[in-house]
Chain A
């Protein structure tokens, strides 16, 4: 993704900070709003260069719609992850078969890779160990049979990506590019 202009970055940072101020103060008093706007302007002026690369392009309606649709999908995956953990911890035989597998992602932006790594960490049985360019190294608590029985490296990567990263990529590809 190409880099946005300074004004666009500044405006985006200001909008995000001001929404954050509204949420944290949780009041619509006019004095609070003015103070929030002034402080957001100062902080945005200092930090807009490191805060964002794409600027206002992040507020494209399609991206926001996908981000909102992603929230319940992600929360559902998280609840399933915790029931999975509950099963593994409470089961007397402790059914774990851990291993580190390799996945490949189609995401290109750094923010998208961060969001994918976070999503992987909070969903069933997987935790991100390291990210190297487009390769993800993931500690899996129960390595599935078809991944374990893969004949060579490329088949292993294909099967592991199918199981771990694909479900999130279709959302994150649109949200972050």
Chain B
């Protein structure tokens, strides 16, 4: 049963390494959008590694049972489903509140899209006024 404990320990170690990368990405990246990129992905996979690792680790010990693994996988699934949604809400709120992109950014199609929408909204009442 020690092989299971070893696999679990290795998974927890890998997960911790991705947590570290996630924190390092927060320091190294230039703006909020790129920070979201690194922190979301690494923190999600790091959590998956740690949780499933604990579940497998528990199988290899005397006090553990299969219930550990089933529950940790359930928690990991919930985290996997909710983490990207919170990231999406945060990055969208950041854009809406006017935080600029990094000066090295090459293309911004969303700004064009919003401006085109605004133009349509402005033209529509003008046409109505013309008909009267």
Pairwise interchain contact A78-B113, C-beta atoms closer than 8 A: no
How far apart sit A89 and B111, CA to CA, in the bound complex (Å)? Answer: 27
Residue of A nearest to B22 (CB): A85
Determine whether the beta carbon of A89 is less than 8 Å from that of B24: yes
Interface size on B, residues (CB 8 A): 45
Q: Are A98 and B34 closer than 8 Å at their CB atoms? A: yes
Task: State how many angstroms separate the Cβ of B76 from the closest Cβ of chain A.
Answer: 11
Q: Is the interface of A mostly helix, strand, loop or mixed?
A: mixed
A: interface residue count bin: 35 or more
**For residue B27, which residue of chain A has the nearest CB?**
A89
**A143 touching B107 in the complex, CB below 8 Å, given contacts A26-B66, A81-B41, A117-B84:** yes
Taking Cβ atoms with an 8 Å cutoff, the residues of B that contact A are 18, 21, 24-25, 28-31, 33-34, 36-38, 40-42, 44-45, 66-67, 70-71, 73-74, 80-81, 83-85, 87-88, 91-92, 95, 101-102, 104-111, 113
A-B contact pairs, 26 of them (CB 8 A): A78-B44, A82-B41, A85-B37, A88-B25, A89-B24, A89-B38, A94-B28, A96-B29, A96-B104, A98-B31, A98-B34, A98-B104, A99-B101, A99-B105, A100-B111, A118-B85, A121-B87, A127-B87, A128-B88, A137-B110, A137-B113, A139-B37, A143-B106, A143-B107, A147-B107, A156-B109
